[in-house]
Amino acid sequence: MKKITVLVLLVLTALAGSFTTYASSTVIVGPDVIHKQYNHILTITDILSLYRSDLGGVSLSEDGYTGYGNILGVHTLQLYASNGTVADAHEVNIYVVSELGNVQAVTDYKDIHVRIDQILQPVEIVYVLENTGYLTITASTQMMILSDTYTENSDTPGEYLFEFRMINSAGLDMTYLSKIYVSEDDNLFIPGIIFEAPKTILDTIGEWIGFIFWFAVAGFIIFIMYKASKKFKKKVSRI
């Protein structure tokens, strides 16, 4: 009886261990922090595309960002994924800043997301990382590029590495590694419908004036052609 009890306990322990492993391997994967410039477009769809989960699609459970993407400060999102049995949540802090650079966004302070029309020079990459607080540049700072797969491929979609070393007179000697993600879309927002403001009285009057003008021009051309035709017929009849 004791042997059976021990065996049952071992089986239950094994099952519990396998369940725990399964749950831990299905968390939402993606950045905890996103930086974006206040006047650059970064939609919820763009943000959700940065996350994945083995549980299935990642969706929003709380949205403190939409409507505030142009307001300086920190705005929070709560992400959620579930397969019906196991669920996971993920909190994201979005920092809207006044100056970031010619980029779409920066994730986890160091990984830069750009489109193929947003080409960065090495020095611009470093300034973007300074704007997120990932590093500090002083007047005595010197930089050495250690690895750069981005510069030659800046207009080609893909994931590239930019590694560099920085030293300064204060004794700093640090190596930094940034991933740069290039998107193939040259415009992430392509409008299917464009909403126009309703016409005013001045717009209507302008349209009528334009219609009358072109009607008069057409009438004048017809009149000239008619007169020319009559003259031509008279010349022919005299011959």
Q: Which residue has the tokens 């519990």?
A: 16
Residue range 201-217: average pLDDT? Answer: 81
Using the predicted structure, report yes or no on whether residue 6 has a pLDDT greater than 80.
no
Q: In what order do the strands lie in the sheet with 59-63?
A: 59-63, 73-82, 87-97, 33-37, 105-107, 111-115, 173-183, 158-167, 142-148
Regarding whether 136 and 118 lie in a shared domain, the answer is yes
Using the predicted structure, report yes or no on whether residue 13 has a pLDDT greater than 50.
no
Compare 198 and 229 and report the one with higher pLDDT: 229
Regarding whether 60 and 108 lie in a shared domain, the answer is no
pLDDT at 198: 56
Q: Which residue has the tokens 């996971």?
A: 88
Classified as helix, coil or strand, 94 is strand
The residue from 82, 98, 114 where one domain ends is 98
Regarding whether 144 and 82 lie in a shared domain, the answer is no
For the chain, what percent of residues have pLDDT higher than 70?
78
Residue 131 structural domain: 101-191
Regarding whether 88 and 45 lie in a shared domain, the answer is yes
The answer to whether position 137 is within a domain reads: yes
Regarding whether 116 and 186 lie in a shared domain, the answer is yes
Residue 209 binned pLDDT confidence (cut-offs 50, 70, 90): confident
Q: What is the CATH number of the domain that holds 37?
A: 2.60.40.10
Compare 192 and 51 and report the one with higher pLDDT: 51
Give the DSSP H or E segment for 115: strand 111-115
- pTM for the full predicted model: 0.67
Residue 207 binned pLDDT confidence (cut-offs 50, 70, 90): confident
Q: In whole angstroms, how far apart are CA 37 and each of 11, 42, 66, 142? A: 54, 9, 14, 27
Using the predicted structure, report yes or no on whether residue 24 has a pLDDT greater than 50.
no
Q: Kindly report, residue by residue over 49-85, the tens digit of the pLDDT.
A: 999 999 889 999 999 999 999 999 999 999 999 998 9
Q: Kindly report, residue by residue over 83-136, the tens digit of the pLDDT.
A: 989 999 999 999 999 999 999 999 999 999 999 999 999 999 999 999 999 999
Compare 3 and 150 and report the one with higher pLDDT: 150
Distance CA 168, CA 191 (A): 48
Which of 128, 22, 169, 172 is closest to 83 using CA atoms?
A: 22
Number of domains in the chain: 2
Residue range 142-169: average pLDDT? Answer: 95
Using the predicted structure, report yes or no on whether residue 47 has a pLDDT greater than 80.
yes
The answer to whether position 74 is within a domain reads: yes
Compare 186 and 75 and report the one with higher pLDDT: 75
Residue range 43-50: average pLDDT? Answer: 93
The answer to whether position 15 is within a domain reads: no
Q: Kindly report, residue by residue over 225-236, the tens digit of the pLDDT.
A: 877 777 767 666
Regarding whether 175 and 106 lie in a shared domain, the answer is yes
pLDDT at 185: 66
pLDDT at 27: 87
Which of 57, 54, 64 is closest to 80 using CA atoms?
A: 57
Regarding whether 183 and 105 lie in a shared domain, the answer is yes
Regarding whether 105 and 157 lie in a shared domain, the answer is yes
Contact between 176 and 135 (Cβ < 8 Å): yes
pLDDT at 229: 76
Strands 111-115 and 173-183: parallel
Strands 33-37 and 87-97: parallel
Residue range 29-47: average pLDDT? Answer: 95
Regarding whether 181 and 108 lie in a shared domain, the answer is yes
Residue 237 binned pLDDT confidence (cut-offs 50, 70, 90): low
The answer to whether position 67 is within a domain reads: yes
